[in-house]
Amino acid sequence: MQPHTLLSAYSKGIFPWFENDQPILWWSPNPRAVIIPGTLHISHSLAKCLRQSHWKVTVDTAFEEVIHACAAPRDDDGDTWIIDPMITAYIELHKLGHAHSIEVWQHNELVGGLYGITIGGVFCGESMFSRIPNASKIAMVELDKIAQQQQFELIDCQIPNPHLTSMGAQAIPRSEFLSQLSALKDKPCDWPNS
């Protein structure tokens, strides 16, 4: 899997997905889950958690640690869809300035985070993880702040799920997503320096 292939796919609304006993497949789901920056829902309990001072949030300081944590199996059968060739390609995209991570630390230990790809004015979220409650949500709050500050107009969450829906993700038709992506993919947006 080559970095330029991934960038080309993302710019067309397509992302890779792996399942056991299958080749890497390419997906463009309908509907598409998205968050408009500034509309992230922060629950009362999450707001309380954010006010606690034992969190530290960083950007692009531990990309490889984040992607490996996201690749860890999440169920009893030990499966993961983030396989080694994908990890290698995303690490290369990070080195090229296209893939980014947000890290959440507690007492100098990485406890949560997320990573994704920037395509113009769109942040394409790939995966997130939590080792303690709310850690991935804290990373999402930071992503929303960055998206607003850097004038990204769309956070692509790919596939709707209850976790993202609870934070304000909405499902839109694929045609609408592709239209927005087409309009935003060449917008100059800078990711903040770490």
Check which CATH number belongs to the domain holding 176 and give it.
3.40.630.70
Token pair listed for 131: 């080792």
Q: Which of 123, 117, 63, 112 is nearest to 91 (CA)?
A: 63
- Total count of domains within the chain: 1
Token pair 């983030």 is found at: 82
- Alpha carbon distance 146, 46 (integer Å): 18
Residue 81 CB neighbours (<10 A): 15
- Full domain range(s) for residue 77: 3-184
Range 163-178 average pLDDT: 95
In a domain, 193, yes or no: no
In a domain, 194, yes or no: no
Q: What is the pTM of this model?
A: 0.93
Decide: helix, strand or coil at residue 63.
Answer: helix
Across the strands, what pairs with 67? none
Q: Which of 168, 66, 58, 164 is nearest to 115 (CA)?
A: 66
Token pair listed for 190: 């800078």
Token pair listed for 22: 């299958």
In a domain, 49, yes or no: yes
Task: Dump pLDDT digits (tens) for 76-106.
Answer: 555 667 888 889 999 999 999 999 999 999 9
